[in-house]
Structure 1
Amino acid sequence: MPNPPSFITPAQLKQMFPDSSILDRYIIAREVNAKAAEFKLDTALRQRHFFAQIKGETGSLLEGQTEGWNYSPEALKRFSLYYRQNPKEAEQDGYLKDPVTGGFIRRADERAVGRKHFQRLNGNRASNPEDGYNFRGRGLIQITGYEKYDGFMQNYAKYWDDEVPDTVTNPELINKMPYAIRSAMYFWLHYRIYLAADSGKGYADVRAVTRRVNGGNEGLDRRQAAYLEAEGIF
């Protein structure tokens, strides 16, 4: 008898993420299959969107990664109102490259970027100026901001019965298994990302799903390409 749509296999994950580890594939298949209905990952359509978003964030590795902010001064001014209003600080905080070799003379000051731009976003606390940097995007789906790190920790015991990870004190835990996949599942459910997938238009819904994930169209082309891959796998 063929597997029902809600059941995923490590072999499918290998197809979608060819550079992933055997162990990670087995952990992810186990975690998703155990709670597919609870986390709204119980249809092939939802799984396609879920794993397409993960591939858009992690590429073919399928492992938690920490967001990097090594931006040029020009990039800082493009996406940040703060840096447009303070262009001298963009020059100070952005990276500096050798005009001849193209090598870095100085990397961006990511802590400063966190304080000046990202501190205002993603449920970070006004009283904690390092929240923007400390709670950068991490995990398989790049959960970002104090609100999400704390929310995952506070809600963890509703879904899992092992020790609750302190992802506020130790945010790097979000990159480690099983928390990398569990945090992605929590994000998918708690922020109702699945509702955009449930429209039922498949590829045409990737833009709406992406907007729910990151608030815009960042990496949309990667996510669209990943969705087309997922259609042949899940």
Structure 2
Amino acid sequence: MAHRQGLTDLDAKSGASGVDSSVGACVGDCPRCCAKVTEEQMRTIFSSASATKITGVTQAFNSAFEKFELNRCLRKAHFFAQIQQEVGASISVMAEDLHYREAGLLKNFEYFRKHPEEAKLYGKTDEHGADPEAIGNRAYADRNGNGNIESGDGWKYRGRGFIQITGKETYQNVQNQIDARYPGSGIDIMTNLESTLEPKGGMISAMAYWRWKKLNDRADNGDTGEHVDKITDIVNYYTHTRAERRANFDTTKVVFKVAECTNRPK
């Protein structure tokens, strides 16, 4: 009941909060497609985040959403449904820690299935803790543009950010999008990997990833659970949280008034 009350309050206040204030020329006639997001909207989506994080996320998105063409109500709803699942209601942005148990390494990574003795050596057992750096360098070696085990790329380019960017090639492709679409942003995730854990760097790199993977096109296809799943296939194919992402979208499509949008693709 409290959750639905929050949405009702948001809807009642949206006219006064600036949600309908266009920040640029829109395709179509919906005044909300190119409107900046508000802190009210972000508080509804990230219900337990601190005021500082809400402000940071709001400002970061508003600085760049038109550059990455997140300028339709439906695109915003799909984007934030995924981000909400990746960082949680409190916006807890973390790097992949890789503290796997031996059994987890054998289940999740081909390298360790081929080298089970190393799963026991580096994974957590009853005798010792995990060695996450050694795990990352083996699990992600020679994948997604990473070098071999000795290069250290697997650990260096492990998953980070509002959408978990993983692998040197992925980091570089995301940075290429930032450079092309938002020059002067001050964000360089290749030289400052940890910037993906901060509100501005995390949000902008997630938007760049979204544009690079052409997820706006998928978002434009519709507003059913099946459409959410097709985006999840790209963001996190192996996740066990498909139902949660669909539930998130049930919230975000109300937050962004998708049903009222007059600029939905036919």
Q: Which category describes the TM-score, using the shorter chain as reference length?
A: 0.7 to 0.9
Once residues 127 and 87 of structure 1 are traced to their aligned partners in structure 2, the CA distance between those partners, rounded to angstroms, is: 16
Given the alignment, which residue of 160, 173, 194 partners 1:172? 194
Aligned residues: 227
8 Å CA contact retained: 1:45, 1:202:
no
Does the aligned pair in 2 maintain the 1:63–1:180 contact within 8 Å? no
Q: Is the 8 A contact 2:137 2:150 kept in 1?
A: no
Tell me the residue number matched to 1:100.
Answer: none
Counterparts of residues 11-90 of structure 1 (less than 5 Å):
11-90=40-119
Q: Call closer, same or farther: CA 1:164–1:210 in 2, change over 3 Å.
A: same
1:162 and 2:191 correspond = no
User: Contact 2:173–2:212 (CA<8 Å) still a contact in 1?
Assistant: no
Instruction: Kindly state the Cα deviation for residue 54 of structure 1 after the two structures are TM-superposed.
Output: 0.9
Pair 86,60 (structure 1): closer, same or farther in 2 beyond 3 Å:
same
Structure 1 residue ranges without an equivalent (≥5): 98-104
Residue of 29, 32, 43 corresponding to 1:5: 32
The alpha-carbon deviation at position 182 of structure 1 amounts to 0.6
Match of 1:204 among 202, 206, 226: 226
CA RMSD of aligned residues (A): 2.3
Change (3 A) 1:106 1:194: farther
Greater radius of gyration (CA): 2
* Alpha-carbon distance between aligned partners in 2 of 1:172 and 1:36, rounded to the nearest angstrom: 22
Q: TM-score, normalised by structure 1?
A: 0.85
Cα distance in 2 for partners of 1:19, 1:70 equals 26
The offset of 1:38, in angstroms, is 3.1
Secondary structure (helix, strand or coil) at the match of 1:222 reads: helix
The TM-score with structure 2 as length reference comes to 0.76
Deviation at 1:200, TM superposition (A): 0.8
Cα deviations by residue, 1:123-166 (Å, 9 ceiling, x for unpaired): 22348621111111111111111123233444433333436444
Structure 2 unaligned residues grouped into runs of 5+: 1-14, 21-30, 257-266
